[in-house]
A and B are shown apart, each in its own frame.
Chain A
Amino acid sequence: MVCESWKAKLDTYLDGELPEQEMRTFDAHVRGCPSCSADALTRVQMKRAIQVAGKRFAPSTDFRRRIEQSITPKPQRSFRLGWMFASATAVILVVGTLTSTYVGSWSGKDQASRDHVFSEIADLHVATLASSSPVDVISTDRHTVKPWFQGKIPFAFNLPEIQNSEFSLLGGRMTYLDQTPGAHLIYDVRKHHISVFVFQERSLSLNLPASLDENSLSPKQLPFNMETWSQGELRYFVIGDASAADIDGLAKLFKAGS
Protein backbone atom coordinates (compact mmCIF):
# COMPACT_ATOMS: atom_id res chain seq x y z
CA MET A 1 0.00 0.00 0.00
CA VAL A 2 1.37 3.39 -0.98
CA CYS A 3 1.37 6.44 1.30
CA GLU A 4 0.57 4.31 4.34
CA SER A 5 1.57 6.97 6.84
CA TRP A 6 -0.59 9.58 5.10
CA LYS A 7 -3.60 7.32 4.84
CA ALA A 8 -3.48 6.53 8.53
CA LYS A 9 -4.32 10.17 9.14
CA LEU A 10 -6.67 10.68 6.20
CA ASP A 11 -9.89 10.53 8.25
CA THR A 12 -8.53 12.96 10.84
CA TYR A 13 -7.53 15.26 7.97
CA LEU A 14 -10.99 15.07 6.41
CA ASP A 15 -12.58 15.73 9.81
CA GLY A 16 -10.52 18.93 9.94
CA GLU A 17 -8.89 17.83 13.18
CA LEU A 18 -5.19 17.95 12.27
CA PRO A 19 -3.10 20.87 13.53
CA GLU A 20 -3.09 23.81 11.11
CA GLN A 21 0.42 23.29 9.82
CA GLU A 22 -0.19 19.58 9.25
CA MET A 23 -3.47 20.37 7.46
CA ARG A 24 -1.56 22.52 4.95
CA THR A 25 1.05 19.84 4.39
CA PHE A 26 -1.70 17.29 3.92
CA ASP A 27 -3.52 19.52 1.44
CA ALA A 28 -0.42 19.75 -0.69
CA HIS A 29 0.16 16.01 -0.56
CA VAL A 30 -3.41 15.02 -1.42
CA ARG A 31 -3.43 17.37 -4.40
CA GLY A 32 -0.32 15.75 -5.82
CA CYS A 33 -0.99 12.11 -4.95
CA PRO A 34 -3.53 10.26 -7.13
CA SER A 35 -3.82 7.38 -4.67
CA CYS A 36 -4.51 9.59 -1.64
CA SER A 37 -6.84 11.91 -3.54
CA ALA A 38 -8.90 8.96 -4.80
CA ASP A 39 -9.05 7.58 -1.28
CA ALA A 40 -9.99 10.98 0.09
CA LEU A 41 -12.79 11.26 -2.45
CA THR A 42 -14.25 7.92 -1.41
CA ARG A 43 -14.07 8.85 2.25
CA VAL A 44 -15.75 12.19 1.64
CA GLN A 45 -18.51 10.34 -0.19
CA MET A 46 -18.82 8.03 2.79
CA LYS A 47 -19.07 11.01 5.15
CA ARG A 48 -21.80 12.54 3.02
CA ALA A 49 -23.67 9.26 2.77
CA ILE A 50 -23.65 8.88 6.57
CA GLN A 51 -24.71 12.48 6.99
CA VAL A 52 -27.72 12.02 4.71
CA ALA A 53 -28.66 8.59 6.04
CA GLY A 54 -28.22 9.72 9.64
CA LYS A 55 -30.76 12.53 9.41
CA ARG A 56 -33.59 10.09 9.34
CA PHE A 57 -36.07 10.75 12.13
CA ALA A 58 -38.14 13.87 12.72
CA PRO A 59 -40.25 14.52 15.82
CA SER A 60 -43.97 15.21 15.53
CA THR A 61 -45.29 18.73 16.14
CA ASP A 62 -47.39 17.32 18.95
CA PHE A 63 -44.29 15.98 20.69
CA ARG A 64 -42.48 19.28 20.21
CA ARG A 65 -45.44 21.07 21.79
CA ARG A 66 -45.41 18.69 24.76
CA ILE A 67 -41.72 19.30 25.37
CA GLU A 68 -42.11 23.05 25.02
CA GLN A 69 -44.97 23.01 27.49
CA SER A 70 -42.98 20.92 29.94
CA ILE A 71 -40.06 23.36 30.01
CA THR A 72 -41.89 26.66 29.60
CA PRO A 73 -41.71 28.63 32.84
CA LYS A 74 -45.08 29.03 34.54
CA PRO A 75 -46.15 32.64 34.88
CA GLN A 76 -45.25 33.95 38.28
CA ARG A 77 -47.89 35.93 40.11
CA SER A 78 -46.17 38.27 42.50
CA PHE A 79 -47.83 40.01 45.45
CA ARG A 80 -48.02 43.22 43.40
CA LEU A 81 -49.38 41.42 40.38
CA GLY A 82 -51.85 39.69 42.67
CA TRP A 83 -53.21 43.09 43.68
CA MET A 84 -53.40 44.14 40.04
CA PHE A 85 -55.20 40.90 39.24
CA ALA A 86 -57.63 41.42 42.11
CA SER A 87 -58.29 45.00 40.99
CA ALA A 88 -58.80 43.89 37.39
CA THR A 89 -61.23 41.20 38.57
CA ALA A 90 -63.20 43.79 40.52
CA VAL A 91 -63.36 46.06 37.45
CA ILE A 92 -64.47 43.15 35.29
CA LEU A 93 -67.19 42.27 37.81
CA VAL A 94 -68.51 45.84 37.78
CA VAL A 95 -68.39 46.02 33.98
CA GLY A 96 -69.97 42.55 33.81
CA THR A 97 -72.84 43.65 36.05
CA LEU A 98 -73.43 46.80 34.02
CA THR A 99 -73.27 45.03 30.68
CA SER A 100 -75.43 42.14 31.84
CA THR A 101 -78.13 44.73 32.49
CA TYR A 102 -77.73 45.75 28.85
CA VAL A 103 -77.69 42.16 27.66
CA GLY A 104 -80.82 41.58 29.68
CA SER A 105 -82.63 43.80 27.22
CA TRP A 106 -82.16 41.19 24.51
CA SER A 107 -84.85 38.62 24.16
CA GLY A 108 -84.22 35.39 26.03
CA LYS A 109 -84.49 33.37 22.80
CA ASP A 110 -81.81 35.41 21.01
CA GLN A 111 -79.54 35.14 24.02
CA ALA A 112 -79.91 31.36 24.11
CA SER A 113 -79.19 31.20 20.37
CA ARG A 114 -76.06 33.34 20.76
CA ASP A 115 -74.81 31.34 23.68
CA HIS A 116 -75.29 28.23 21.58
CA VAL A 117 -73.24 29.72 18.71
CA PHE A 118 -70.47 30.85 21.02
CA SER A 119 -70.43 27.45 22.62
CA GLU A 120 -70.17 25.87 19.14
CA ILE A 121 -67.26 28.16 18.26
CA ALA A 122 -65.50 27.26 21.51
CA ASP A 123 -66.06 23.55 20.77
CA LEU A 124 -64.61 23.95 17.25
CA HIS A 125 -61.57 25.72 18.72
CA VAL A 126 -60.94 23.08 21.39
CA ALA A 127 -61.64 20.07 19.16
CA THR A 128 -59.26 21.40 16.50
CA LEU A 129 -56.41 22.02 18.92
CA ALA A 130 -56.90 18.56 20.43
CA SER A 131 -56.62 17.01 16.98
CA SER A 132 -53.36 15.37 15.94
CA SER A 133 -53.49 17.43 12.72
CA PRO A 134 -55.06 20.76 13.68
CA VAL A 135 -54.43 22.40 10.32
CA ASP A 136 -54.78 21.10 6.77
CA VAL A 137 -52.61 23.79 5.25
CA ILE A 138 -49.48 24.24 7.32
CA SER A 139 -47.76 27.51 6.60
CA THR A 140 -46.77 30.72 8.29
CA ASP A 141 -47.17 32.54 4.99
CA ARG A 142 -50.56 34.17 4.44
CA HIS A 143 -49.94 34.06 0.69
CA THR A 144 -49.87 30.28 0.94
CA VAL A 145 -52.75 29.87 3.37
CA LYS A 146 -55.25 32.19 1.69
CA PRO A 147 -55.10 30.60 -1.80
CA TRP A 148 -55.52 27.16 -0.21
CA PHE A 149 -59.17 28.05 0.54
CA GLN A 150 -59.92 28.84 -3.11
CA GLY A 151 -62.66 26.50 -4.35
CA LYS A 152 -63.21 25.12 -0.87
CA ILE A 153 -65.35 27.92 0.56
CA PRO A 154 -67.85 30.11 -1.35
CA PHE A 155 -66.24 33.45 -0.48
CA ALA A 156 -62.89 35.22 -0.32
CA PHE A 157 -61.36 36.98 2.65
CA ASN A 158 -58.13 38.77 3.49
CA LEU A 159 -55.49 37.74 5.95
CA PRO A 160 -53.74 40.59 7.71
CA GLU A 161 -50.01 41.33 7.56
CA ILE A 162 -48.61 40.14 10.90
CA GLN A 163 -44.90 40.42 10.26
CA ASN A 164 -44.37 43.22 12.75
CA SER A 165 -46.72 41.85 15.38
CA GLU A 166 -46.35 39.21 18.07
CA PHE A 167 -48.70 36.86 16.23
CA SER A 168 -47.64 34.08 13.94
CA LEU A 169 -49.82 32.13 11.55
CA LEU A 170 -49.71 28.35 11.96
CA GLY A 171 -52.09 27.39 9.17
CA GLY A 172 -55.72 26.83 8.36
CA ARG A 173 -58.48 24.36 7.72
CA MET A 174 -62.08 24.24 6.52
CA THR A 175 -64.79 24.25 9.11
CA TYR A 176 -68.57 24.27 9.40
CA LEU A 177 -70.93 26.25 11.59
CA ASP A 178 -74.67 25.98 11.29
CA GLN A 179 -74.14 23.79 8.16
CA THR A 180 -72.22 26.68 6.60
CA PRO A 181 -68.64 26.24 5.33
CA GLY A 182 -66.06 28.66 6.59
CA ALA A 183 -62.37 29.22 7.15
CA HIS A 184 -60.61 28.35 10.39
CA LEU A 185 -57.19 29.92 10.90
CA ILE A 186 -54.88 29.25 13.80
CA TYR A 187 -52.45 31.82 15.14
CA ASP A 188 -49.88 31.62 17.86
CA VAL A 189 -48.95 34.27 20.40
CA ARG A 190 -46.55 33.47 23.25
CA LYS A 191 -47.43 29.76 23.13
CA HIS A 192 -51.18 30.46 23.13
CA HIS A 193 -53.22 29.32 20.16
CA ILE A 194 -55.91 31.59 18.86
CA SER A 195 -58.57 30.52 16.37
CA VAL A 196 -60.04 32.90 13.83
CA PHE A 197 -63.24 31.75 12.13
CA VAL A 198 -64.62 33.44 9.03
CA PHE A 199 -68.12 32.73 7.64
CA GLN A 200 -70.50 34.37 5.21
CA GLU A 201 -72.89 36.39 7.34
CA ARG A 202 -75.92 35.79 5.14
CA SER A 203 -75.40 32.02 5.17
CA LEU A 204 -75.57 31.86 8.93
CA SER A 205 -79.07 31.81 10.39
CA LEU A 206 -77.82 33.80 13.35
CA ASN A 207 -78.99 37.01 14.83
CA LEU A 208 -75.73 38.43 16.11
CA PRO A 209 -75.03 42.09 16.70
CA ALA A 210 -72.60 43.74 14.27
CA SER A 211 -69.88 43.85 16.88
CA LEU A 212 -69.58 42.13 20.21
CA ASP A 213 -66.78 41.63 22.67
CA GLU A 214 -67.99 38.36 24.06
CA ASN A 215 -65.32 38.26 26.72
CA SER A 216 -66.90 41.03 28.71
CA LEU A 217 -70.45 40.02 28.02
CA SER A 218 -70.84 36.37 28.76
CA PRO A 219 -67.83 35.09 30.72
CA LYS A 220 -69.86 32.47 32.51
CA GLN A 221 -70.52 30.73 29.20
CA LEU A 222 -66.94 30.51 27.94
CA PRO A 223 -63.63 29.70 29.52
CA PHE A 224 -62.00 31.64 26.64
CA ASN A 225 -61.68 35.18 25.52
CA MET A 226 -63.58 35.94 22.36
CA GLU A 227 -64.52 38.69 19.96
CA THR A 228 -66.92 38.62 17.06
CA TRP A 229 -67.92 41.19 14.47
CA SER A 230 -69.39 41.53 11.05
CA GLN A 231 -67.49 43.26 8.26
CA GLY A 232 -67.94 43.21 4.50
CA GLU A 233 -70.72 40.59 4.71
CA LEU A 234 -68.42 38.28 6.60
CA ARG A 235 -68.75 37.19 10.21
CA TYR A 236 -65.51 36.87 12.17
CA PHE A 237 -64.91 35.09 15.47
CA VAL A 238 -61.57 35.33 17.32
CA ILE A 239 -61.26 32.96 20.27
CA GLY A 240 -58.52 31.56 22.47
CA ASP A 241 -57.09 31.26 25.95
CA ALA A 242 -54.75 34.17 25.31
CA SER A 243 -55.36 37.43 27.15
CA ALA A 244 -58.28 39.64 26.14
CA ALA A 245 -55.70 42.18 24.95
CA ASP A 246 -54.15 39.62 22.59
CA ILE A 247 -57.54 38.57 21.26
CA ASP A 248 -58.38 42.21 20.71
CA GLY A 249 -54.98 42.82 19.08
CA LEU A 250 -55.51 40.05 16.52
CA ALA A 251 -59.12 41.15 15.93
CA LYS A 252 -57.89 44.69 15.20
CA LEU A 253 -55.38 43.38 12.67
CA PHE A 254 -58.18 41.53 10.89
CA LYS A 255 -60.48 44.53 11.01
CA ALA A 256 -57.76 46.70 9.53
CA GLY A 257 -56.80 44.18 6.87
CA SER A 258 -60.29 43.20 5.71
Chain B
Amino acid sequence: MGTLSQLAAESFEQLAMPHFDRLYNFACWLTHDRQEAEDLVQETYVKALKGFPSFQPGTNFRAWIYKILRNAFLTSRTGLKAAATVPLDLEGEEEMLPAVEETPESILLQRSDGQFVQQALEQLPISYREVLLLCEVEEMSYQEISATLAIPMGTVMSRLSRARKALRNGLRPQSQKG
Protein backbone atom coordinates (compact mmCIF):
# COMPACT_ATOMS: atom_id res chain seq x y z
CA MET B 1 0.00 0.00 0.00
CA GLY B 2 1.52 3.33 -1.00
CA THR B 3 1.52 6.50 1.07
CA LEU B 4 -1.44 8.01 -0.80
CA SER B 5 -3.55 4.92 -0.43
CA GLN B 6 -2.55 4.74 3.22
CA LEU B 7 -3.82 8.29 3.67
CA ALA B 8 -7.00 7.30 1.85
CA ALA B 9 -7.44 4.33 4.19
CA GLU B 10 -7.00 6.56 7.23
CA SER B 11 -9.49 9.02 5.83
CA PHE B 12 -11.88 6.13 5.08
CA GLU B 13 -11.62 4.89 8.64
CA GLN B 14 -12.42 8.35 10.00
CA LEU B 15 -15.46 8.64 7.76
CA ALA B 16 -16.72 5.07 8.05
CA MET B 17 -16.32 4.05 11.68
CA PRO B 18 -18.78 6.62 13.12
CA HIS B 19 -21.53 4.82 11.14
CA PHE B 20 -20.55 1.37 12.38
CA ASP B 21 -23.12 0.92 15.17
CA ARG B 22 -26.00 2.18 13.04
CA LEU B 23 -25.00 0.16 10.00
CA TYR B 24 -24.97 -2.94 12.16
CA ASN B 25 -28.42 -2.09 13.57
CA PHE B 26 -29.75 -1.53 10.06
CA ALA B 27 -28.17 -4.80 8.86
CA CYS B 28 -29.84 -6.69 11.72
CA TRP B 29 -33.20 -5.27 10.73
CA LEU B 30 -32.64 -6.34 7.13
CA THR B 31 -31.36 -9.84 7.83
CA HIS B 32 -33.11 -10.75 11.11
CA ASP B 33 -29.92 -12.61 12.01
CA ARG B 34 -26.95 -11.24 13.94
CA GLN B 35 -24.38 -13.49 12.27
CA GLU B 36 -25.64 -12.57 8.83
CA ALA B 37 -25.68 -8.92 9.86
CA GLU B 38 -22.02 -9.17 10.88
CA ASP B 39 -21.15 -10.76 7.54
CA LEU B 40 -23.09 -8.06 5.75
CA VAL B 41 -21.40 -5.22 7.63
CA GLN B 42 -18.00 -6.84 7.10
CA GLU B 43 -18.68 -7.12 3.37
CA THR B 44 -19.88 -3.52 3.30
CA TYR B 45 -16.69 -2.21 4.88
CA VAL B 46 -14.48 -4.29 2.59
CA LYS B 47 -16.37 -3.13 -0.51
CA ALA B 48 -16.51 0.47 0.66
CA LEU B 49 -12.77 0.55 1.36
CA LYS B 50 -12.07 -0.95 -2.03
CA GLY B 51 -14.40 1.48 -3.78
CA PHE B 52 -13.39 4.49 -1.68
CA PRO B 53 -11.26 6.02 -4.45
CA SER B 54 -14.48 6.38 -6.46
CA PHE B 55 -16.24 8.23 -3.63
CA GLN B 56 -16.62 11.92 -4.46
CA PRO B 57 -15.42 14.04 -1.52
CA GLY B 58 -18.08 16.50 -0.46
CA THR B 59 -20.93 14.19 -1.40
CA ASN B 60 -22.96 12.26 1.12
CA PHE B 61 -20.78 9.50 2.60
CA ARG B 62 -23.56 8.13 4.79
CA ALA B 63 -25.90 7.59 1.84
CA TRP B 64 -22.98 6.08 -0.09
CA ILE B 65 -22.07 3.47 2.51
CA TYR B 66 -25.71 2.61 3.29
CA LYS B 67 -26.25 2.06 -0.41
CA ILE B 68 -23.31 -0.36 -0.48
CA LEU B 69 -24.77 -2.25 2.49
CA ARG B 70 -28.19 -2.42 0.92
CA ASN B 71 -26.82 -3.61 -2.42
CA ALA B 72 -24.74 -6.23 -0.62
CA PHE B 73 -27.89 -7.35 1.18
CA LEU B 74 -29.92 -7.55 -2.04
CA THR B 75 -27.34 -9.90 -3.54
CA SER B 76 -27.03 -12.01 -0.37
CA ARG B 77 -28.93 -15.26 0.03
CA THR B 78 -31.37 -13.70 2.50
CA GLY B 79 -31.83 -10.66 0.29
CA LEU B 80 -32.50 -12.74 -2.80
CA LYS B 81 -34.93 -14.87 -0.81
CA ALA B 82 -36.72 -11.77 0.47
CA ALA B 83 -36.92 -10.42 -3.07
CA ALA B 84 -38.34 -13.73 -4.26
CA THR B 85 -41.05 -13.93 -1.62
CA VAL B 86 -41.95 -10.26 -1.18
CA PRO B 87 -41.68 -7.79 -4.04
CA LEU B 88 -39.04 -5.21 -3.16
CA ASP B 89 -40.87 -2.60 -5.12
CA LEU B 90 -44.44 -2.29 -3.91
CA GLU B 91 -45.25 0.88 -5.79
CA GLY B 92 -48.74 0.82 -7.24
CA GLU B 93 -49.92 -1.78 -4.74
CA GLU B 94 -51.56 0.63 -2.39
CA GLU B 95 -54.93 -0.90 -3.07
CA MET B 96 -53.68 -4.14 -1.52
CA LEU B 97 -53.34 -2.50 1.85
CA PRO B 98 -56.40 -2.29 4.02
CA ALA B 99 -57.74 1.19 4.57
CA VAL B 100 -56.78 2.54 7.95
CA GLU B 101 -59.00 4.87 9.83
CA GLU B 102 -57.08 7.84 11.08
CA THR B 103 -58.10 7.48 14.68
CA PRO B 104 -55.78 9.88 16.45
CA GLU B 105 -55.68 8.72 20.00
CA SER B 106 -56.66 5.12 19.56
CA ILE B 107 -53.91 3.04 18.10
CA LEU B 108 -50.54 4.05 19.39
CA LEU B 109 -51.58 5.34 22.76
CA GLN B 110 -53.00 1.91 23.49
CA ARG B 111 -50.23 -0.06 21.87
CA SER B 112 -47.16 2.06 22.35
CA ASP B 113 -45.24 -0.80 23.93
CA GLY B 114 -41.82 -0.95 22.28
CA GLN B 115 -42.11 -4.67 21.71
CA PHE B 116 -45.32 -4.24 19.73
CA VAL B 117 -43.65 -1.67 17.53
CA GLN B 118 -40.65 -3.92 17.00
CA GLN B 119 -42.91 -6.82 16.08
CA ALA B 120 -44.92 -4.64 13.73
CA LEU B 121 -41.71 -3.42 12.08
CA GLU B 122 -40.51 -7.00 11.66
CA GLN B 123 -43.76 -7.91 9.93
CA LEU B 124 -43.44 -5.16 7.35
CA PRO B 125 -42.30 -5.98 3.82
CA ILE B 126 -38.64 -5.20 3.53
CA SER B 127 -39.09 -2.17 1.26
CA TYR B 128 -41.37 -0.56 3.86
CA ARG B 129 -39.17 -1.53 6.78
CA GLU B 130 -36.02 -0.07 5.26
CA VAL B 131 -37.58 3.23 4.22
CA LEU B 132 -39.11 3.72 7.67
CA LEU B 133 -35.83 2.89 9.42
CA LEU B 134 -33.86 5.24 7.21
CA CYS B 135 -36.35 8.05 7.85
CA GLU B 136 -37.13 7.59 11.54
CA VAL B 137 -34.11 5.84 13.02
CA GLU B 138 -31.34 7.14 10.78
CA GLU B 139 -33.15 10.46 10.43
CA MET B 140 -32.15 10.73 6.80
CA SER B 141 -33.67 13.44 4.64
CA TYR B 142 -35.84 12.38 1.71
CA GLN B 143 -32.93 13.27 -0.54
CA GLU B 144 -30.55 10.97 1.34
CA ILE B 145 -33.10 8.17 1.29
CA SER B 146 -33.53 8.70 -2.42
CA ALA B 147 -29.75 8.39 -2.92
CA THR B 148 -29.48 5.35 -0.63
CA LEU B 149 -32.35 3.40 -2.17
CA ALA B 150 -31.73 4.72 -5.67
CA ILE B 151 -35.36 5.76 -6.10
CA PRO B 152 -36.89 9.15 -7.01
CA MET B 153 -37.93 11.54 -4.24
CA GLY B 154 -41.59 11.12 -5.14
CA THR B 155 -41.26 7.39 -4.65
CA VAL B 156 -39.61 7.94 -1.27
CA MET B 157 -42.62 9.99 -0.17
CA SER B 158 -45.24 7.59 -1.44
CA ARG B 159 -43.40 4.56 -0.07
CA LEU B 160 -43.01 6.21 3.32
CA SER B 161 -46.69 7.02 3.38
CA ARG B 162 -47.63 3.42 2.60
CA ALA B 163 -45.09 2.07 5.09
CA ARG B 164 -46.55 4.21 7.86
CA LYS B 165 -50.04 3.14 6.98
CA ALA B 166 -48.97 -0.51 7.01
CA LEU B 167 -47.26 -0.08 10.37
CA ARG B 168 -50.32 1.58 11.87
CA ASN B 169 -52.38 -1.30 10.63
CA GLY B 170 -49.91 -3.74 12.17
CA LEU B 171 -50.24 -2.01 15.51
CA ARG B 172 -54.01 -2.19 15.58
CA PRO B 173 -55.63 -4.89 17.67
CA GLN B 174 -56.21 -8.07 15.64
CA SER B 175 -59.97 -7.61 15.64
CA GLN B 176 -59.75 -4.20 14.01
CA LYS B 177 -57.43 -5.19 11.17
CA GLY B 178 -58.78 -4.97 7.67
Residues of chain A at the chain B interface (Cβ within 8 Å): 1, 7, 11-12, 15, 17, 38-39, 41-43, 45-47, 49-59, 63-64, 66-68, 70-74, 76, 78
Contacts and interface: CB of A to CB of B under 8 A. Distances in A.
B51 to A, nearest CB: 13
Q: How large is the interface on B (under 10, 10 to 19, 20 to 34, 35 or more residues)?
A: 35 or more
A12 B161 CA distance: 9
A56 B28 contact: yes
Given A49-B108, A64-B20, A55 B6 contact: no
A1 to B, nearest CB: 7
B90 interface: no
A86 to B, nearest CB: 20
Given A42-B107, A45-B108, A53 B49 contact: no
Interface stretch (B53-61, B66-74, B79-87, B114-122): B114-122
A45 B121 contact: no
Contact of B102 (A39, A57, A63, A72): A39
B96 interface: no
B112 A45 contact: yes
A64 B42 CA distance: 10
Contacts of B1: 73-74, 76
Contact of A63 (B24, B141, B168): B24
A11 B6 contact: no
A7 B13 contact: no
B145 to A, nearest CB: 10
B136 A73 contact: no
B142 A17 contact: yes
A45 B6 CA distance: 46
A52 to B, nearest CB: 6
B20 A57 contact: no
Interface string B1-41: 11101100110110011001100110011000010011001
Contacts of A54: 25, 29, 121, 132-133, 136-137
Given A57-B37, A67-B42, A46 B167 contact: yes
A76 B3 contact: yes
